[in-house]
Chains A and B, each alone.
Chain A
Amino acid sequence: MAKTFRGGVHPYEGKELTEDKPVVPYEPKGLMVYPLSQHIGAPAVPCVNKGDRVLRGQKIAEAGGFVSAAIFSSVSGTVQSIAPHRVANGDMVSSIIIQNDGLYEEVIFDVAADPYTLSEEEIIGKIKDAGIVGMGGAGFPTHVKLSPKEPAKIDHIIANCSECEPYLTSDYRQMIDDPGSLVEGMKLILTVFRKAKGVFAIEDNKPAAIEAVSELIKGERRMEICVLKTKYPQGGERQLIKAVTGREVNSKMLPADAGCIVDNVATLVAVFNAVKYGRPIMNRLFTVSGDAIEDPQNYLVYTGTSMKELLEEAGNDPEKTAKYISGGPMMGFAMFDTDVPITKTNSSILAFTEDEVSKNKTTACINCGKCVEVCPERLVPSRLAKMADHGDAAGFEKWYGLECIECGSCSFICPAKRPLAQSIRIMKRSVLAAKRKK
């Protein structure tokens, strides 16, 4: 029996567009842009100046604190400027802009002969030095995640292989093409947490991935596969922990409080590359898909590449595109400008010929309760949205509005097409902001 959580929805998956296509490497043509904020926490601090020549793999910005991450150049070239640049969510973020010389001259990386003999501190140190952050989207610095208050209590390392957002297939391709790096990454983290077992949590719509990983972990006593039901948001951290361990985590807890550490596929692969080969995050897998893309693909890209270049490469006509989304259709951002760099955390760009959402006509809420049925957090979204629209902060908190994970299942299911998640998200921001002021 596949494991799961209560609630959730089944959106159109759209993965058939790219799931069987092998990864295509893409060499960037234009300027490379490295935003200083590609993670949760303090922005990184530049350690290069305008005009400097940099090599591929060279650190160009230092971590700005403990909860922060260093940034590395993915190409060799010259620093053209350090200036604000648009990023995928629409913000302007101070960025290091590098003129690519096309030579890809690399620095010499510190390769470890046998990484499994390293101490816990050394492994975490290497991960920190490589600027690794959660590559599934949130961008939480991985070395912070691996330094919980009570490391002895960690008994589950969960590899988030569920990739529940529609259209996204980069993690899937990684599991098919190179499951070895993923398993090795897990092995390294298990070296840090000696009492934990490693669980690969994979949705049951990816049988080939389940098979590929199973084959590799045969005989590994500390690793297992947990098959999950295909459902959105199965890859949500709290939902994943529930499905795998039966434990529940709320907004005030960290996964570590439930004895879990959750990392997605790309992050574990990055951990392996960092610890074994000393290589920082310089490339990542990136899906370009949607019905406005002539030739949807999974690309192996250099971080800092403009999404616009990839759209052109994949055959996208901006004239015929009504909507661009960075990330998945459920939680991603609608974009007004596609000339934004791919950062460590961006996994996809989608282009659609029709903007279905903005064509929806909103009607009155009739209290049908569909949103309550699907909410994975057991909330009452229709009520929360009403309180949000009325600015009722006290009621919003009392009805657990702050527990919302913004997965968008309520907006998706609402027969009256009400933008519930959007209202709740805005209210959550303002309630949290008011709390910080106090």
Chain B
Amino acid sequence: MLIVIIALLPTSVFGIYNFGLRALIHMLISVATAVLCEFLMNKIRKQPVTVGDLSAVVTGLMLALNVPVALPFWETALGSAFAIVIVKMLFGGLGQNFMNPALAGRCFLVIAFAADMTNFNCDAYSGATPLASIRAGESVNVMNMLIGKTGGAIGETSALCILLGAIIMILFGVIDLSIPAGYIISFVLFMGVFGGHGFDSTYLVAELCGGGLMLGVFFMATDYVTSPITPVGRVVYGVCCGVLTGLFRCFGANADGVSFAIILSNLMVPVIEKITVPTAFGVVRVREVKKDEKNNS
């Protein structure tokens, strides 16, 4: 968990640099609320205190990175409390939740406070986010999107910082590439076919860097608890996320669709695992033999 927090630091620091002190306050409030909620739930349910595992810190930080800087602070706190209390603790705490708590918290906020959650105007930036601009048919500055000097949620704008975090996690063996690869490849293919711009590289890079995609691919979709454990299942799940994100972006009402795509895919995990149970060592041979026997008879 500590490595995940370290991996989130580049994009967190960039968020503060990009959006100012208010971004830091969001992070502090969100983390504090998450940790406090977990602690209180432990106490109420007379369980051992589990805040030491740092997973609440990760959830709180991720949620803060997923909200626009202009959001009222109390709404961030509410989202964080929802993530921990409803999504995580009521289902049994760490390892038992079936949705990514931070994303569920974000989706809760999007539904509850739709206007606040899509208001990306702030001191630094005003006007449409790059994704909204693409949707409106305007051109966008891809370089700025890579670096992150655009409007958007606090921690999702800088593709480079997120990639830096992703590299840290990969080097430490925290995540592997099966989910991100499945996600990105299927998403690119989907957007190429249905996005209306063909396989135009500028367009595709802009779509990849836009919205919460990068953060979602590397930090949310790869969440152990809510992704399949079977090796093939991970790829299938990544593809699910990619296709759903593409679907929501091309045909949905929202400019972004990452959070909903991932939590819907979270719900499909049990089914994905069921159909991708790895065949045990040496068992394939036997099946082939049986098939041959059938063919012969």
Contact B277 A253 (CB under 8 A): no
On whether the beta carbons of B277 and A250 are closer than 8 Å, the reply is: no
Interface positions, chain A 95-135, Cβ under 8 Å from B, are none
Chain B proximity of A136: nearest CB distance (Å): 20
Q: Is B94 an interface residue (CB 8 A)?
A: yes
Inter-chain contact A380/B278, CB cutoff 8 Å: yes
How far apart are the CA atoms of A252 and B280 in the complex, in Å?
Answer: 12
Q: Which of B63-71, B180-188, B195-203, B225-233 contacts A (4 or more CB under 8 A)?
A: B225-233
Report Cα–Cα, A365/B231, bound state, in Å: 17
Q: Write out, one digit per residue, whether chain A residues 376-406 have a CB within 8 A of any chain B CB (1) or not (0).
A: 1111101100000000000000111001000
Shortest Cβ distance from A370 into B: residue: B173
Judge if A368 is at the interface, Cβ distance under 8 Å: yes
Instruction: Assess whether B72 is interfacial by the CB under 8 Å rule.
Output: no
Give the residue among B50, B93, B277 with the most A Cβ atoms within 10 A: B277
Given A365-B95, A377-B280, does the pair A250, B285 have CB atoms closer than 8 Å? yes
With A379-B280, A398-B277 in contact, is A248–B285 under 8 Å at CB?
yes
A367 to B233, CA, bound (A): 13
Please, which residues of chain B bring their CB within 8 A of the CB of A31? Answer: none
Which A residues are CB-close (under 8 A) to B53? 363
How many chain A residues touch B (Cβ–Cβ < 8 Å)? Answer: 27
Q: Please count the residue pairs between chain A and chain B whose beta carbons lie under 8 angstroms apart in the complex.
A: 69
Output the nearest chain A residue to B269 by Cβ-Cβ distance. A367
- Residues A403 and B280 in contact in the complex (CB < 8 Å), given A364-B96, A366-B95, A372-B229: yes
Chain B residue nearest in CB terms to A253: B282
A376 to B278, CA, bound (A): 12
Q: Which of B230, B280, B286 has most A Cβ within 10 Å?
A: B280
CA distance A141 to B256 in the complex (A): 66
Q: Which of A249, A377, A383, A398 contacts B229 (CB 8 A)?
A: A383
B284 within 8 Å of A (CB atoms): yes
Interfacial chain A residues near B282, Cβ < 8 Å: 238, 248-251, 253, 403
Measured between alpha carbons, how far is A366 from B282 in the docked complex, in Å? 28
Chain B residues, Cβ within 8 Å of A363: 53, 94
Q: How far is the CB of A396 from chain B (nearest CB, A)?
A: 12
One digit per residue, 1 when the CB lies within 8 angstroms of any chain A CB and 0 when it does not, for chain B 81-108 equals 0000000000001111000000000000
Q: Once the chains are docked, how many angstroms separate the CA of A398 from the CA of B94?
A: 27
For residue A416, give the distance in angstroms from its CB to the closest CB of chain B: 8
Q: Check if B229 sits within 8 Å of A367, measured CB to CB.
A: yes
The answer to whether A380 touches B229, judged by C-beta atoms less than 8 angstroms apart, is: yes
B297 within 8 A of A: no
- Nearest-neighbour CB distance to chain A for B266, whole angstroms, equals 12
Most B Cβ at <10 Å: residue of A242, A364, A383: A364
B224 contacts A366, CB within 8 Å? Answer: yes
A30 within 8 Å of B by Cβ?
Answer: no
Q: Which of A369, A379, A399 has the most CB of B within 10 A?
A: A369
Nearest CB on A from B48, distance (A): 10
Task: Confirm or deny: B295 has a beta carbon within 8 angstroms of a beta carbon on chain A.
Answer: no
Which B residues from 249 to 297 make CB contacts under 8 A with A?
273, 277-286
State whether A399 and B277 are in contact (beta carbons under 8 Å apart), knowing that A367-B225, A368-B224, A369-B229 are contacts in the complex.
yes
Interface residues of A (CB under 8 A from B): 238, 242, 248-253, 363-369, 372, 376-380, 382-383, 398-400, 403
User: Which 9 A-B residue pairs are closest in the complex by CB-CB distance?
Assistant: A250-B282, A400-B280, A248-B282, A364-B95, A403-B280, A377-B281, A367-B224, A368-B224, A364-B94
Interface residues of B (CB under 8 A from A): 50, 53, 55, 93-96, 224-225, 227, 229-231, 273, 277-286
**Would you list 6 pairs from A and B whose C-beta atoms are within 8 A, ordered by A residue?**
A249-B282, A365-B95, A367-B225, A367-B227, A378-B278, A378-B281
